[in-house]
Amino acid sequence: MININNVYQTVLVLANKDNRGYITPAEFNRMADQAQNEIFEGYFVREAGYEMSGGLESDFSNPVLNISERINLFYKSDTPTVANGIFPFPTDLRQLGVVSVDGKAADYASHEDIKYINLSPLTYPVATQPVYTLHDTGIKVYPSTITTGVEL
């Protein structure tokens, strides 16, 4: 969870209160949002750094586990409705995690790979083993007969 004192201290740094004097509540709220976003984004950077350094095995002192628990508070699920063959991203999406279709995890494929996957009878996506590609506004799920049951 984000500590309110961290947010407050970050707002003070952003506002540079010593030089400007007091700030209005509206300015504080804008800067608080910015501070929360900076702290949240910092979780991902720190987690990646801890994963690269490796090492700790204790559950209580494992920095990767501790940061993951903080990030897990922000996980959300969404079941979008297909529009023009695309399942749109939620408006508050930060990063896409797992895509599932009727409870089965879908595999990611690049636009280059999906051409070859669709051409081969051995790798052609089926409802029991779906595949998805990323688009600017959402995801496209293969086979194209899938129109419901997609969860992001």
Cβ–Cβ under 8 Å, residues 39 and 6: yes
Residue 87 has pLDDT above 90, yes or no: yes
Every domain of the chain and the residues it spans: 4-72, 87-151
Residue 35 has pLDDT above 90, yes or no: no
- For residues 58 and 116, the model is more confident at 116
pTM of the model: 0.63
Distance, first Cα to last Cα, the chain: 23
The one-letter code for the residue type at 49 is: G
**Whole-angstrom Cα distance, residue 31 to residue 12?**
9
Cβ–Cβ under 8 Å, residues 98 and 105: yes
**Whole-angstrom Cα distance, residue 31 to residue 36?**
9
**13, 80, 110, 113, 128 from 106: Cα distances, Å:** 44, 15, 13, 15, 9
Report the percent of the chain where pLDDT is more than 70.
78
E-strand ranges in the chain read: 87-88, 100-101, 104-105, 107-108, 131-134, 138-142, 150-151
Least confident window among 12-21, 27-36, 83-92, 95-104: 12-21
Average pLDDT over residues 88-115: 90
pLDDT attached to residue 134: 94
Residue 133 has pLDDT above 90, yes or no: yes
Residue 99 has pLDDT above 90, yes or no: yes
Return the number of other C-beta atoms located less than 10 Å from residue 45's C-beta.
10
The one-letter code for the residue type at 40 is: F
Average pLDDT over residues 125-141: 92
Average pLDDT over residues 27-50: 76
